[in-house]
């Protein structure tokens, strides 16, 4: 499921208070707020515990496979810097 956040609110990896982890990817700009801040949409995966980089990569690949005809999604995943997931 895609979601929307402003660029300043967006984090690639975030630990939740219950110890689960939210991993976000497939970032695509979709516009700007009235104040001029960039708005992005993205996909995400929730992991019950801190995921390994291999688990994050599998999640990225599944997301691309879910949208085979969407060039914006494929391009955003291809341009993902994996260092963003080293938390």
Among 81, 65, 85, 79, CA closest to 22: 85
32-64 tens-digit pLDDT:
999 999 999 888 899 999 999 889 888 888 888
What is the model's pLDDT at position 82? 66
What is the mean predicted confidence (pLDDT) over 12-24?
93
Between residues 12 and 3, which one has the greater pLDDT? 12
Beta strands 3-6 and 38-47 are antiparallel
pTM over 0.85: no
Q: Where are the domains of the chain?
A: 3-85
CA dihedral 58, 63, 68, 74 (to 10 degrees): -90
């Amino acid at each position: 499921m895609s979601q929307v956040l402003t660029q300043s609110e967006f984090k690639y990896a975030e630990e939740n208070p219950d110890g689960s982890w939210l991993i976000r990817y497939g970032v695509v700009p979709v516009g700007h707020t009235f104040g001029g801040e960039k708005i992005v949409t993205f996909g995400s995966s929730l992991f019950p515990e801190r995921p390994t980089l291999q688990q994050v990569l599998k999640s990225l690949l599944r997301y691309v496979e879910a949208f085979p005809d969407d060039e914006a999604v494929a391009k955003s995943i291809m341009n993902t810097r994996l260092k963003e997931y080293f938390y």
